[in-house]
Amino acid sequence: MAETYEIKGEGGVVLEVLGPDDQPQGEVTEPWAAPEPTEAPETPEAPGTPEPTTAPAPPEPYVEPTATVNIATRASWGARYPDGDLTLTGPAVEVWVHHSVTAQLSPDASVAAEAEQMRALESVGQTRFGTGISYNVVVFPSGRAYQGVSWNRRGTHTGGRNSTSRSICFAGNYETNNPTAAQISTAAAIYGAGKGRWWTQGAPLGGHRDVSQTACPGRNLYARLDDIRAGEGSTPPSPGEPGGLTVDGFWGSSTTRRLQQELGTTVDGVVSSQSIAWRDVNPGLTTGWRWVTDAQGSRVIAALQRKIGMPADQRDGKIGPQTIRALQRYLGTPVDGVISRESRAVMALQRRLNQGRV
Ligand SMILES: [Zn+2]
């Protein structure tokens, strides 16, 4: 194994370890399944651009999500160094979740603060390995995601497996902090969106610690990997299958699937095209929610609005304070118009779904 970089915590625990692969060229498994990533084109960079001697150009403004999964480009955060060390010609066959053990930003952190953290992470990888930022994508507590080393370029995230895997990194330390619902939701969306695209359809997702001597991605995030796996792309249960929902008050893909079964809409665990304005104020809405700027609404929410007796002219398929209040009244829980963590309304909904009703 080539030289690695370790970040140690209390008692010498290795919280994260970064390193290159031994082999110079990654194994090619199969051609890119296409389509290529659809992010906006990045600012062209000359190959092997040397370190800048002047200050980098100001970053581009962050563009709020408008598609199923939005990942801000390298140019948006002001990437200054090489984009990995070589081009990989096949999709990944494994996906590893990491944590960065760098600053723990607030869910309310600004885009500028997150971009600064991206450049700090890039500096670490550049200093240690000379190949720019180590991870493929970095997800912040706000739920925003930024492209690190491009999907088809090799990074230094999972030593020995960089050529055949890709990485989703949570910014911060999740041995000691909890990931936010927005982070889990974003990571689930990325994992789902990458199937058959950045990685093979069946590529498993695991924690870095499954394959290296490290605590990464931290016990609190490791405990949530099932929620990331449960995002878009996993197999829905057959209609009529017993509920078995965990009554935890978090409305993620599993709850949506059961709701879709009961309401007779397409069963995919996804609530499509919801207004991003309602994401952060409703932390109990977790995986499978698709937050966009130009919301069109979803069939499952429209069906729910009908079921709970909202008038026809209010059935727009979008979650929001009005719909949440109507749902809370319908379920007999406190009416405050928001879905909090461990929401009583969601628990009531989950109990009903487990009884085979809405
Ligand atoms: Zn790691």
| Cα(98) to centroid(ligand 1), Å | 4
Q: Domain boundary residue among 229, 244, 263?
A: 229
pLDDT of residue 153: 96
Question: What length is written for the chain?
Answer: 358
Which tokens go with 135? 């991870």
Residue 237 is assigned to a structural domain of this protein: no
Q: Decide if pLDDT at 34 tops 90.
A: no
- Mean pLDDT (whole number) for 80-87: 96
- Both 164 and 270 in one domain: the answer is no
Give the Å distance between the CA of 262 and the centre of ligand 1: 40
How many angstroms does the Cα of residue 207 sit away from the middle of ligand 1? 8
pLDDT > 50? residue 226: yes
pLDDT at 243: 53
Give a yes or no: residue 46 inside a domain: yes
Same domain, 23 and 81: yes
Distance from residue 227's CA to the centre of ligand 1 (Å): 18
Cβ(131)–Cβ(85) under 8 Å? Answer: yes
- 247 part of a folded domain: no
For residues 179 and 78, what is the distance between their CA atoms, to the nearest angstrom? 25
* Ligand 1 centre distance from Cα of residue 171 (Å): 11
Residue 50 to residue 318: CA distance in whole angstroms: 48
Does residue 100 fall inside a structural domain?
A: yes
Compute the average pLDDT of residues 325-343. Answer: 93
Give the model's pLDDT for residue 44: 43
In a domain, 238, yes or no: no
pLDDT tens, 232-247?
A: 433 333 333 345 778 8
220 and 258 belong to one structural domain: no
pLDDT higher than 90, residue 310 = yes
How much is the average pLDDT of 89-100?
Answer: 95
Go through 158-183 and write b for each residue having 16 or more CB atoms within 10 A of its CB, e for each that does not: bbbbbbbbbbbbbbbbbbeeebbbbb
> Cα of 336 to ligand 1 centre, how many Å?
40
Give the range of the structural domain holding residue 301, as residue numbers without chain letter. Answer: 253-354
Which of these three, 229, 263, 285, is where a domain ends? 229
Cα-to-centroid distance, 330 and ligand 1 (Å):
45
CA of 287 to the centre of ligand 1 (A): 22
Q: Are residues 202 and 53 in the same domain?
A: yes
Residue 68 is assigned to a structural domain of this protein: yes
Average pLDDT on 11-23 reads 87
Give residue 66's pLDDT: 32
- The reported pLDDT for the residue numbered 2 is 58
Reply yes or no on whether the pLDDT at 47 is more than 50: no
Question: Does position 92 have pLDDT exceeding 90, yes or no?
Answer: yes
Predicted confidence (pLDDT) at residue 319 exceeds the cutoff of 90: yes
Regarding whether 190 and 103 lie in a shared domain, the answer is yes
Same domain, 26 and 97: yes
pLDDT band at 98 (very low <50, low <70, confident <90, very high): very high
Does the pLDDT value for residue 208 go beyond 90?
Answer: yes
31 vs 77: which has the higher pLDDT: 77
**Same domain, yes or no: 199 and 297:** no
Answer with the residue of higher pLDDT: 332 or 60: 332
Average pLDDT on 330-348 reads: 92
Residues 176 and 281 in one domain: no
Is residue 57 predicted with pLDDT exceeding 80?
A: no
- 169 Cα–ligand 1 center, Å: 8
For residue 245, is it within any domain? no
DSSP state of 274: E
* 194 Cα to the center of ligand 1, angstroms: 19
pLDDT at 251: 94
| CATH number of domain containing 56 | 3.40.80.10
Q: Please tell me the predicted confidence (pLDDT) of residue 221.
A: 97
Domain presence at residue 248: no
Residues 150 and 286 in one domain: no
Statement to judge: residues 44 and 144 lie in one domain: yes
Minimal CA–CA distance to 96: which of 9, 287, 225? 225
Kindly give the distance from the C-alpha atom of residue 267 to the centroid of ligand 1, in angstroms, as a whole number.
34
Distance 211 CA to ligand 1 centre (A): 10
Compute the distance from residue 56 Cα to the ligand 1 centre, in Å: 28
- Nearest residue to 281 via CA among 191, 343, 347, 192: 343
Q: Are residues 220 and 269 both part of a single domain?
A: no
Q: For residue 144, name the pLDDT band (cuts at 50, 70, 90).
A: very high
What the block records as the tokens of 326 is 């109507």
- Among the candidates 195, 229, 263, a domain finishes at 229
**Mean pLDDT lowest for which of 87-91, 105-109, 264-268, 352-356?**
352-356
Choice between 61 and 249, residue whose per-residue pLDDT is larger: 249
Q: Is the pLDDT of residue 27 over 50?
A: no
Checking if the pLDDT of 32 tops 70, the result is no
Number of structural domains, the chain? Answer: 2
pLDDT of residue 72: 94
Whole-number Å distance, alpha carbon 19 to ligand 1 midpoint, is: 10
Which whole number is the average pLDDT over 84-113? Answer: 95
161-184 per-position pLDDT tens digit: 999 999 999 999 999 999 998 899
Q: Ligand 1 mean position to 155 CA, how many Å?
A: 12
Task: Check whether residue 288 and residue 322 sit in a common domain.
Answer: yes
Q: What does each C-alpha distance from 330 to 180, 246, 281, 310, 320 come to in angstroms?
A: 28, 21, 21, 10, 15
